[in-house]
Structure 1
Amino acid sequence: MVNIEISILALLTGIVVGVLFAYVQVPIPAPATLPGVLGVAGIYLGFKLVEWAGVGVDLLGALGL
């Protein structure tokens, strides 16, 4: 379940950081275009899909780490 308070705090933190980056005139460390943002959303959704399906490989465990 999504915690609304944490989500709102995360959004507010992102806004404050975005304002700070713009104020000091440095590029943001995130995709600045819609296709980039959609790519990040796609990565998240793909991760959640695999998690929901219950499949996956413990890569670090397989490597002995």
Structure 2
Amino acid sequence: MSMAVVGMIAGMTLGFAGYFGGFGAFLLVAALGAVGFVAGRFLEGDWELGDFFRHRDERRR
């Protein structure tokens, strides 16, 4: 599935949540989508947990 289709589905989901559930539902769906995105990146191996906990000096090397 292309990234354009994934983006369209995510946008439609947020639109429906905002229309039917209000702004609170919109924020909830957006937050859960972000959590799912991060979890998916971890599971695919694109990110590692240590990437977020390194010291500033270690990142520059």
For the criterion TM > 0.5, the same-fold answer is: no
Task: Identify which of structures 1 and 2 has the higher relative contact order when contacts are C-alpha pairs closer than 8 Å and 6+ apart.
Answer: 2
Larger Rg: 1
TM-score by length of 2: 0.42
